[in-house]
């Protein structure tokens, strides 16, 4: 099995994943519909909110919840399939949705105005599966999988990270760090500021964020800075020089170089492109 997708309920999940070793060897994406759903994840019954996307790494098992009638859509694939897809598709090469030490699964809630997303994707994946002997539908199915994975990466900053093995201390530390970034990244981009606020060593913080988020503290700070930079470029009339000053960069050139490295295009190009798209 390279990949597959199907609509299931708690009652049918047990039949699908009857072989536990196979269950643990695959990556799984659960797409929850409008009524929510309950799934057993590694021995704990979890109630998921409507329109959730749940990214589950290997080594974490899904099991049936007896009597659970609400259906959900399940996309599952081998790690080798995912690795090949990442190699062949450049935007996924920095993917971190299945990263870490397989201690955690990650959940994101699709924004309410896009609440039909899961149903839309599920319908078209089933359509692709029904005609999988035709090349165009096979490629369509692969494109849909990529789209789901890209959606996960787009909302990566908003993931709810859930522990598997009693690692609440690590999760709390990571979430506190992320909150501090949101609050202070305008002025503070150096790791020592955050380790002092958290009362931990840089080595400790790095170990924890790599486990939970699959990223180093420096990478998370850069993501926070980029997020604010994009917001200011799109939602304000401030010049790039003013934005650079607000974000405590030495000058406009230094800010532009940093933004370009992280985003792949200059602040000027990003603002111009976004302005065209919203017109």
Q: Is the pLDDT of residue 206 over 50?
A: yes
User: Would you state the pLDDT for residue 235?
Assistant: 85
At 10, the pLDDT band (50, 70, 90 cuts) reads low
Angle 31-33-36 from CA coordinates, rounded to 5°? 100
Q: Is the pLDDT of residue 16 over 70?
A: no
The HSE-up count of residue 13 (CA atoms within 13 Å, CB side) is: 27
The more confident residue out of 89 and 184 is 184
Q: Is the pLDDT of residue 21 over 60?
A: no
26-58 pLDDT per residue, tens: 788 999 998 898 888 877 888 888 988 888 887
**Dihedrals φ, ψ of 129, to 5°?**
-65, -40
Q: Is the pLDDT of residue 192 over 90?
A: yes
Cβ distance 81 to 2 under 8 Å?
yes
User: Span 123-147, mean pLDDT?
Assistant: 89
At 132, the pLDDT band (50, 70, 90 cuts) reads confident
pLDDT > 70: percent of the chain: 84
User: Would you state the pLDDT for residue 18?
Assistant: 56
Q: Is the pLDDT of residue 214 over 70?
A: yes
Domain architecture of the chain: domains with CATH: 3-163 (2.60.120), 173-278 (1.10.10.60)
Q: Is the pLDDT of residue 22 over 90?
A: no
User: Span 156-175, mean pLDDT?
Assistant: 65
At 176, the pLDDT band (50, 70, 90 cuts) reads confident
Cβ distance 54 to 88 under 8 Å?
no
At 239, the pLDDT band (50, 70, 90 cuts) reads very high
CA–CA distance, 130 with 133 (Å, rounded to integer) = 8
> Which of 117, 108, 111, 210 shows the shortest CA–CA distance to 162?
108
CA–CA distance, 172 with 179 (Å, rounded to integer) = 10
Q: Is the pLDDT of residue 102 over 60?
A: no
Cβ distance 33 to 119 under 8 Å?
yes
Cβ distance 232 to 270 under 8 Å?
no
Mean pLDDT estimate for the chain:
82
At 157, the pLDDT band (50, 70, 90 cuts) reads low
Q: Is the pLDDT of residue 122 over 50?
A: yes
**Dihedrals φ, ψ of 48, to 5°?**
-100, 140
SS3 percent helix, strand, coil of the chain, rounded to 5, is 55, 15, 30
196 contact partners, CB below 8 Å, separation of at least 6: none
28, two tokens: 């799984």
DSSP class per residue in 128-195: HHHTTTSHHHHHHHHHHHHHHHHHHHHTGGG-EEEESSS-HHHHHHHHHHHHHHHHHTTT---HHHHH
CA–CA distance, 218 with 117 (Å, rounded to integer) = 33
163 forms beta bridges with 104
CA–CA distance, 73 with 32 (Å, rounded to integer) = 7
User: Would you state the pLDDT for residue 165?
Assistant: 47
User: Would you state the pLDDT for residue 267?
Assistant: 92
CA–CA distance, 8 with 70 (Å, rounded to integer) = 9
User: Would you state the pLDDT for residue 58?
Assistant: 78
User: Span 248-263, mean pLDDT?
Assistant: 91
265-278 pLDDT per residue, tens: 899 998 888 776 54
User: Would you state the pLDDT for residue 241?
Assistant: 93
CA–CA distance, 184 with 223 (Å, rounded to integer) = 13
């Amino acid at each position: 099995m390279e990949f597959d997708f199907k609509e299931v309920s708690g009652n049918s999940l047990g039949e699908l994943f009857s072989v536990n070793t196979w269950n643990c060897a695959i990556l799984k994406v659960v797409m929850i519909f409008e009524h929510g759903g309950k799934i057993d994840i590694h021995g704990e019954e979890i109630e998921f909110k409507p329109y959730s996307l749940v990214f589950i790494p290997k080594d974490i098992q899904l099991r049936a919840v007896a009597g659970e009638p609400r259906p959900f859509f399940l996309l599952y694939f081998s790690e080798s399939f995912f690795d090949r897809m990442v190699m062949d598709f450049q935007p996924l090469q920095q993917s971190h949705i299945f990263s870490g030490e397989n201690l955690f699964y990650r959940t994101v809630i699709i924004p309410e105005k896009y609440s039909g997303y899961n149903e839309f994707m599920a319908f078209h994946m089933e359509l692709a599966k029904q005609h999988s002997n035709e090349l165009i539908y096979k490629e369509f199915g692969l494109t849909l999988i990529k789209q789901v994975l890209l959606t996960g990466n787009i909302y990566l900053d908003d993931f709810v990270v859930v522990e598997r093995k009693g690692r609440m201390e690590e999760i709390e530390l990571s979430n506190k760090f992320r909150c501090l970034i949101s609050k202070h990244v305008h002025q503070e981009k150096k790791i020592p500021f955050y380790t002092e606020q958290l009362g931990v060593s840089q080595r400790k913080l790095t170990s924890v964020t790599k486990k939970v988020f699959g990223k180093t503290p420096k990478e998370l700070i850069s993501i926070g800075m980029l997020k604010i930079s994009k917001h200011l470029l799109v939602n304000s009339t401030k010049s790039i020089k003013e934005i650079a000053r607000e974000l405590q960069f030495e000058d406009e050139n230094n800010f532009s170089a940093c933004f370009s490295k992280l985003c792949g295009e200059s602040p000027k190009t990003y603002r111009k492109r976004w302005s065209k798209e919203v017109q």
